[in-house]
Amino acid sequence: MPRYRLDLEYDGGPYKGFQAQGGLPTVQASIERAVKAFSGESLRLQAAGRTDTGVHALQQVIHVDLGRAWPPDVVRNALNAHLAPEPIAVTAASVAPDGFHARFSATGRRYLYRILNRPAPPSLEKGRAWHVKKTLDVAAMNEAAARLVGHHDFTTFRDADCQAKSPMKTLDLAGVFREGDEVRLAFAARSFLHRQVRSMTGSLVEVGAGRWRADDLAAALEARDRTACGPVAPAEGLYLAGVAY
């Protein structure tokens, strides 16, 4: 039974997250319906990670086991045909190497958070970036973000419903930069806690807006207390940017 690795991109706005949830619209449910329409097979796909309601993906990775060997391009093109007009695209398909698992073989995940930082509201980027009117101090945010890098107890930035066994995570990258009216936050780690990126982003915006200093962010991290977290950034600006294997 051949296993296929599929790379995806999607707009998370119309969906109640990635993971299948009964009759609710989810990315997983749409892809599994497309697989059945293409191959006639009912299956449960495996993904590198779950994204929440409204969160987007530039590169999500899944795998599916099909009963028949198809050329990868046929799998990609057939799935895209059956996914139309939904905002989900299979950007690449390949036969997975032996032992490959979309989730357990992953060695790292990257997230991008986009902030439209200008007085005027978004038009083209509505639903795809967080609109923050107040000019953000990117240098201060970047200095504060550096305090998050490393192996820490991230309880402060962990959602109350997080099911991870431990709050300990190693953050390999936390950087903030500006491109015109857009402020971008980049994060990389082997894995993340539930809503960790949105929680860190919201607190970093407090720094950028001048309400917190870098020391305040470090103190919030050290508190290991969810109540010490700043406001949680909205889902619409968050993107799963890539998965490493």
Residue ranges of domains in the chain = 3-95, 108-244
How far CA 52 is from CA of 48, 181, 197, in Å, comes to 13, 26, 12
Domain 108-244 in the same topology as domain 3-95? yes
pLDDT digits (tens, 9 = 90+) for 223-244: 999 999 999 999 999 999 999 9
Q: Is 161 a catalytic residue?
A: no
Q: Of 7, 52, 161, 225, which is the active-site residue?
A: 52
pTM of the predicted model, to two decimals?
A: 0.96
Kindly tell me if the per-residue pLDDT of 173 is higher than 90. Answer: yes
Specify the 3-state DSSP secondary structure of 38.
Answer: helix
Q: What kind of fold does domain 3-95 have according to CATH?
A: Alpha-Beta Plaits (3.30.70)
Residue 1: per-residue pLDDT: 86
pLDDT digits (tens, 9 = 90+) for 181-209: 999 999 999 999 999 999 999 999 999 99
- Which CATH fold would you assign to the domain 108-244? Alpha-Beta Plaits (3.30.70)
Which tokens go with 5?
């690795």
| 99: amino acid identity, one letter | G
- pLDDT exceeds cutoff 90 at 22: no
Residue 152's DSSP bridge partners are: 169
